[in-house]
Amino acid sequence: MPLCVSVSGVDAKEPTALPKSPFVTPEIKNIDYEKVYGTEKVKNGTEVSIKVVLTNISGEIGKSTLIFYSELEGAEGHIMEEVLKSGSSYTMDPQKVGEEVAVIWAGTAPEVKKQEPYTLLNITQETTEGEYLVEDIKKYVSSEIIESALSAFYKAEEAVENANWTIANATKAGIDVGEAQMSFNLAKEHLNNSMECYSAGRPEKALEEAGKASNFAKLAEEKAEGAVVSTKSTNYAIIGAAVIIVVVVCVFLIMQRRRKRGIY
């Protein structure tokens, strides 16, 4: 029976597909955040800071409106003297900002129970010509325990596949792998439990279940290999016994013929 019930996670809000703005060029100068060890993912609950410089600001369209959106917690920033928050807008006047202007942004990565993509900063531009995308910065947010659970799951999945291959080959050869199959079924059950627990936001339990899946998968593979070796040994013993019987019979027949001929 499954140990966890799957629940839906937090999905990153995808901005409407917009054409890239031809009226401004964004340059990401800095994205500073604490990484989950061994990855490029943002560690949950840690601070994130971003600096984007807008250059090649077109004066032909006159004023335009920049709209800022972020899924960081407590997200805020500023552009020149204007304070910004997620959902804020800023009227950009080329005559006022000149050729370039910097956007400074900061916030806290949300606490997550499974690996999720989040929008760190999205900037769109509304002009008289239409609406355009200026910049869209997304990163996965995760944690060490989440990454460990995922890594253990993938290793367990590989172990289950290896066990399945070994059992299938033994079965084709007509070898009884009943005990191996029992361990294999348990391995699959724990593997399914691991993914269900991960999806339900329980990475610790997912890690535990993945470990059990790996252990049972390895045990299933060992039992299948043992059954193959045992069967081969039995077959060799039978063949050996048959050879001995044949040799004894041959010797007996030869001795009988010799006696009939008077040869001793």
User: Does 59 share its domain with 161?
Assistant: no
State the pLDDT at residue 245: 53
The answer to whether residues 40 and 84 belong to one domain is yes
Q: Identify the pLDDT of residue 187.
A: 95
Residues 113 and 203 placed together within one structural domain of the fold:
no
Identify which of 150, 214, 151 has the alpha carbon closest to the alpha carbon of residue 187: 214
Same domain, 126 and 166: no
Which CATH number goes with the domain that contains 155? 1.20.140
Indicate whether 2 belongs to any domain. Answer: no
Q: Which two tokens stand for residue 220?
A: 């299933």
Q: Would residue 194 count as lying in a domain?
A: yes
8 pLDDT band, cuts 50/70/90, is: very low
Determine phi and psi for 134, rounding to 5 degrees: -95, -55
- Name the pLDDT band for 13 (thresholds 50, 70, 90): very low
Question: For residue 190, what pLDDT band results from cuts at 50, 70 and 90?
Answer: very high
Same domain, 30 and 135: yes
Residue 138 and residue 236 in one domain: no
- The residues, any chain, with a CB within 8 Å of residue 52's CB and separated by 6 or more, are 26, 27, 28, 29, 102, 103, 105, 121, 123, 135, 137
User: Of 142, 169, 201, which residue sits at a domain end?
Assistant: 142
Please tell me what DSSP assigns to residue 147. H
Give strand pairing partners of 126.
Answer: 65, 131
Mean pLDDT of 102-121: 96
Q: What's the chain's Rg over C-alpha atoms?
A: 34
Instruction: Determine, yes or no, domain membership for 94.
Output: yes
Regarding whether 132 and 77 lie in a shared domain, the answer is yes
At 80, which CATH number?
2.60.40.2410
Instruction: Report the mean per-residue pLDDT for the chain.
Output: 84
Same domain (yes/no): 83, 179: no
> How far, in Å, CA of 191 to CA of 210, rounded?
6
Number of domains in the chain: 2
- Separation CA 75–CA 137 (nearest Å): 14
Give yes or no: residues 121 and 151 share one domain. no
10 domain residue, yes or no: no
Alpha helices for the chain (secondary structure H): 94-97, 144-172, 178-199, 203-260
> What 3-state DSSP class applies to 79?
strand
Q: End of a domain among 142, 175, 192?
A: 142
Clarify whether residues 79 and 159 are in a common domain.
Answer: no
Residues 153 and 248 in one domain: yes
Last residue of a domain, one of 93, 126, 142: 142
Determine the average pLDDT of the residues in 150-165. 95
Please check whether residue 232 lies inside any domain of the structure: yes
In the chain, the N- to C-terminal Cα span, in Å, equals: 76
Residue 187 within a domain: yes
8 A C-beta contact, residue 164 and residue 217: no
Is 20 inside a domain boundary?
no
- What does the pLDDT read at residue 76? 95
Are 73 and 87 in a shared domain? yes
Confidence at residue 180, expressed as pLDDT on a 0 to 100 scale: 82
How far is the C-alpha of 180 from the C-alpha of 192, rounded, in Å? 19
Domain that holds residue 168: 145-257
Structure tokens at 227: 């059954």
Average pLDDT over residues 166-192: 87
Percentage of the chain exceeding pLDDT 90: 62
